[in-house]
C-alpha cells in the first residue's frame, strides 16, 4: 500500500500550499504511510539558508530540494513539497529528476493571498521593502499541465485535501 511519490504544491505565497499539504500529511499518517513534508520556510532555515531570492538562488533552492525529494521518493516515502517554485523550467527539471511526481497548483487570487498574509510580506513588497517577491515584483509562471488544480479561494481545506488524495489514488500512489 502506497509507493513513493513527490506531490509538489506550487502557487503564490499564501495560496494554501502548506495548509493543504499539512492536512494531506495528517490523513496519510493516520493510514500508517511514510510521509515527509518539505516546506519552503523550513528548508530555508537549514538546507538552503545560504540562498536569497534571486532567480539563480530560487533555482538552486529547488535543485537542492529536488535531490532530497528524489532520495525519499525512491525509498517509498510520500513527499509533500510546498514551494512557490515560480519558474516552469525548474519545475519541469524537478519532475524529470524525481520521476514519480504529481504537480498540484494551488490557484488563488492575488487579493485572497494578500488577505491571508499574516506576515505582511505582500504589503512590504508593494512598499518596496522586499524585492524579488513573487506575485508583486517577480513573476509566477502558472503550471501549464499540472495533475491537479486546487482553487483554494473557492474550496475548503478539506475539499482540497480530498482532491489531492483522490488524484493520488487514481494515479496509483495510494
| Fold classified for 5-169 | Rossmann fold (3.40.50)
Residue 81, pLDDT > 70, answer: yes
Domain map of the chain by residue range?
Answer: 5-169
Taking phi over 0 as left and psi of -120 to 50 as alpha, with beta for the rest, 100 belongs to beta
pLDDT tens-digit series, residues 86-107: 999 999 999 999 999 999 999 9
Total residues found in the chain within this entry:
174
Weakest mean pLDDT among 33-42, 50-59, 78-87: 50-59
Active site residues: 85
CB-count burial class (<10 Å; 0-12, 13-18, 19+) for 118? exposed
pLDDT at residue 109 is higher than 80:
yes
Any idea which of 62-66, 92-96, 124-128, 159-163 has the lowest mean pLDDT? 124-128
Place of cell 491571508: 116
- Entry pTM: 0.94
* Cell numbers describing residue 66: 529536488
Amino acid at each position: 500500500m502506497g509507493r513513493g511519490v513527490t506531490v509538489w504544491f506550487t502557487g503564490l505565497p499564501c495560496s494554501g500550499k502548506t495548509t493543504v499539504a499539512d492536512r494531506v500529511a495528517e490523513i496519510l499518517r493516520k493510514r500508517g504511510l511514510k510521509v515527509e513534508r518539505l516546506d519552503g520556510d523550513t528548508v530555508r532555515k537549514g538546507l538552503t539558508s545560504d540562498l536569497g531570492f534571486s532567480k539563480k538562488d530560487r533555482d538552486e533552492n529547488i535543485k537542492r530540494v529536488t535531490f532530497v525529494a528524489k532520495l525519499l521518493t525512491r525509498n517509498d516515502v510520500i513527499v509533500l513539497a510546498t514551494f512557490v517554485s515560480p519558474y516552469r523550467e525548474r519545475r519541469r527539471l524537478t519532475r524529470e529528476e524525481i520521476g514519480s511526481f504529481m504537480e498540484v497548483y494551488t490557484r488563488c487570487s492575488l487579493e485572497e493571498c494578500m488577505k491571508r498574509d499574516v506576515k505582511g510580506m505582500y504589503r512590504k513588497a508593494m512598499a518596496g521593502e522586499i524585492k524579488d517577491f513573487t506575485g508583486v515584483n517577480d513573476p509566477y509562471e502558472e503550471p501549464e499541465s499540472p495533475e491537479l488544480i486546487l482553487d483554494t479561494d473557492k474550496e475548503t481545506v478539506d475539499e482540497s485535501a480530498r482532491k489531492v488524495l483522490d488524484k493520488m489514488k487514481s494515479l496509483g500512489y495510494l
